[in-house]
Structure 1
Amino acid sequence: MKKTTYLVLTFFIISTSIFASIKLFSNVPNRFIQVDDTIHQRSRIAKRGSVTEVFPQFPGGAHALRKYIKENLKYPEISARNKVQGTVEINCVVTKTGVIEKVIVMTSLDPYCDAEAVRLVKNMPRWIPGNINGVPSDMHRVIVVDFKKNTDQKVATNADFNSIVTCGGIENKYSETIFTVVEQMPQFHGGLVAMKQFIAKNIKYPELSKKYKISGNVYVRFVVSKDGKLCDAQILRSLDAYCDKEALRVIRSMPNWISGKTNGVNVSVYYIVPLTFALPL
């Protein structure tokens, strides 16, 4: 009875936390380490002294970054013709050597603008790497690329676009778009209750995280493809390295979902699930 009550309370927090902001520990410095081939943000209690973080930056600073984007961005012809305007948000990792890796689209505009934003970021010169207490470190960076049709902006022809962003990375131009919101969102077979039960049955609280009383939510974003397969799972909001790794493991172990639909057609859709690691009361 106690166990059932605990699970109900835990997943009540999960369902409500999607719409709430997350409060990180104010006394916990943020670190980035590599776990399971993905760079995650790690929350860690500093036992002595303070942790100083310097975030990576484009050579010459923010002004130089804006100039680089303006001079190198090519507005996709098909997007310009369809009057598509807005921003694409790119999440990437600036390594300790200043190289940009793990480029993914966080906020999509259309497949052609997404592809152009990815191309632009991947072709950037080396950044000045970030550091923690003076030691160069791999760190995440979000780069916003604006697509606003100006008379002096370069326009790319369709021939310039041989690829677009899709589930599994960059594929050919005939691949599908990944949507963020559709008429019928994808769902776990059996719905939200069944998904919570699956997570409760399969999640394992990492012993080290429990030992150091790390608790809270890990937000995982993934793609539910048009055939219901889950792919491209990424940590959107980190807790610590061990909880992050466990959250990814659970998501990746899920069976196929019911795919999302728009206009009656199956499409690939981004989906976010929070997984809660709660210490016993």
Structure 2
Amino acid sequence: MSYRFRPLLMAVLLSTAALAPAYAQQKLKYPKAPPANEIYDAVEKPAQPAGGPEAFGQYLAENQQYPTAALQAGAQGTATVTFVIEKTGSISNVAVAQPLHPLLDAEAIRLVQAAPRWTPAQHRGGVVRQRVTVPISFQIPGDAPAAPATAPAAAGTAGPTTQVVSADQPARPVGGTEAFFEWIQLNQQYPALALQRKAEGRVMMEFIVEKDGSLTDIKPIKRLGSGLDEEAIRLIKAAPKWEPAMYKGQPIKQKMVLPVVFSL
């Protein structure tokens, strides 16, 4: 009896032996670990900002510092920023893929470089580097027109007596923008309520620079409360005259939007 089953037993053993090389070959087909320094555009589990996309959007909005010269020029829009999330979650290789305005591009880069660490991407069972693209929007509060100014309408024109034009030379503070903001800081009287509440931030102010350089129609368009809005109004009202905007060699009125910064 044992002799009868011996060939069958040998056949089973041979079959098992024949499967071994095939199984070994199959194991070699498993994907290898991702290359150490490769940067991926698409991954199985993308990198995530701290707190999620909504928290990252809030960080951008709260920490954006609109450049004064860009505000003066009425520059706004969206800067498309690319960067790499490293395996540690740190941010590197920050660049503007679609430039918007030199000052706004620089601010977009600053915002991303200063952002909190991300949760790194994962791919093929390992942590990898990932390239991320984020649009950063710059919108002048109150939707103020770009370099808004008004000049007399042509003689014989029906309708309004003014027209909207782009100033040949925008209005500017006497002594320059830096001198103007230095004056703001030196003459700022921090409200007691704001000190008590430890309130700080930026009050966005809108006003008109008249033909004689005086500032009128002063109002906050982004408020902070705690007495800071009223102090911002007082400061702009008391500020020195500006150099008016010029159009075809003549002074004209121009609407401006500028921040008054309060910092403890």
Question: Considering only CA atoms, is the larger Rg found in Structure 1 or Structure 2?
Answer: 2
Higher helix share: 2
TM-score, normalised via structure 2 length = 0.41
TM-score, normalised via structure 1 length = 0.39
